[in-house]
Chain A
Amino acid sequence: MTELTRARDPRPGSDAGRRLRRDRAAMAGAGCLLVLILAAVFAPVVAPYDPTKVSMRERLQPPSPKHALGTDQFGRDILSRIIHGARISLTIGLISVGIGLGLGTTLGLIAGFFRRADYPISALMDVLLSFPQILLAIAIVAALGPGIFNAMIAVGIGTVPAFTRLTRSSALSIREREYVEAARALGASNRRIIVRYVLPNSLAPLVVLGTLSLAAAILAAAILSFLGLGARPPMPEWGAMAAEGRGFIAQFPHIATFPSLAIFVVVLCFNLLGDGLRDALDPHLRE
Chain B
Amino acid sequence: MPVYVARRVLLTIPTVLGTSILVFLILHLAPGDPATIVAGPTAPPDVVANIRTQLGLDQPVLVQYWRYLSHALQGDLGRSMLTQRAVSEEVAVAFLNTFELVIAARIWSLLVAIPIGVVAAVKRRSIFDKLSMVAALLGLSLPIFWIGLMAIWLFAFTLGWLPVSGRGGPLWTLDGLRHLVLPALTLGGIQVPALARLTRSSVLEALSQDYVRTARAKGLAERLVVAKHALGNALLPVVTIIGLQFAGLLGGAVVTETIFSWPGLGRLAVTAILTRDFPLVQGTILVAAVTFVTINLLVDLLYAVLDPRIKYA
Contact = CB atoms under 8 A, between A and B. Distances in A.
A124 interface: yes
A223 B147 CA distance: 12
Contact of B145 (A138, A143, A226): A226
A144 interface: yes
Interface of B: 14-16, 18-19, 21-23, 25-27, 29-31, 137-138, 140-146, 149-150, 152-153, 157, 201, 204, 246-248, 250-252, 254-255, 258-259, 269-270, 272-274, 278, 281, 285, 288-289, 292-293, 296
A134 B204 contact: no
Interface stretch (A13-21, A39-47, A246-254): A246-254
Nearest to A133: B251
A99 interface: no
Given A142-B26, A143-B26, A287-B201, 10 more contacts: A123-B15, A127-B18, A130-B293, A143-B25, A143-B27, A144-B29, A228-B274, A242-B149, A264-B138, A268-B138
A256 B144 CA distance: 12
B22 A127 contact: yes
A132 interface: yes
Interface string A222-241: 11001111000000000100
Interface string A256-273: 110011011001100110
23 contacts: A126-B15, A127-B19, A127-B21, A131-B19, A131-B288, A131-B292, A135-B254, A135-B269, A135-B288, A135-B292, A138-B269, A138-B273, A139-B23, A139-B281, A142-B30, A223-B254, A227-B255, A227-B258, A229-B270, A257-B146, A260-B142, A261-B146, A267-B141
Contact of B141 (A127, A215, A245, A246): A215
A142 B281 contact: yes
A242 B145 contact: yes
Contacts of A250: 153, 157
Interface of B (DSSP majority class): helix
A261 B143 CA distance: 8
B215 to A, nearest CB: 21
Interface string A267-287: 110011000000000000001
Contact of B137 (A126, A131, A142, A268): A268
A150 B288 CA distance: 22
Interface residues of A, number: 46
A219 interface: yes
Q: Which 4 A-B pairs have the closest CB atoms?
A: A127-B18, A134-B251, A260-B146, A132-B247
Contacts of B153: 249-250, 253
B285 A253 contact: no
A204 to B, nearest CB: 22
A145 interface: yes
A31 B278 CA distance: 45
A267 B292 CA distance: 26
User: Which of B259, B273, B292 has most A Cβ within 10 Å?
Assistant: B273
Contact of B248 (A132, A243, A267): A132
A138 B16 CA distance: 18
B144 A264 contact: no
A162 B292 CA distance: 18
User: Which of B30, B270, B296 has most A Cβ within 10 Å?
Assistant: B270
B145 to A, nearest CB: 5
A146 interface: yes
A221 to B, nearest CB: 11
Contacts of B157: 249-250
B75 to A, nearest CB: 20
Given A131-B292, A138-B254, A138-B269, A146 B274 contact: yes
Contacts of A174: none
Contacts of A253: 149-150, 153
B18 A124 contact: yes
A227 B259 CA distance: 9
A266 to B, nearest CB: 8
A148 interface: no
User: Which of B18, B30, B296 has most A Cβ within 10 Å?
Assistant: B18
A131 B258 contact: no
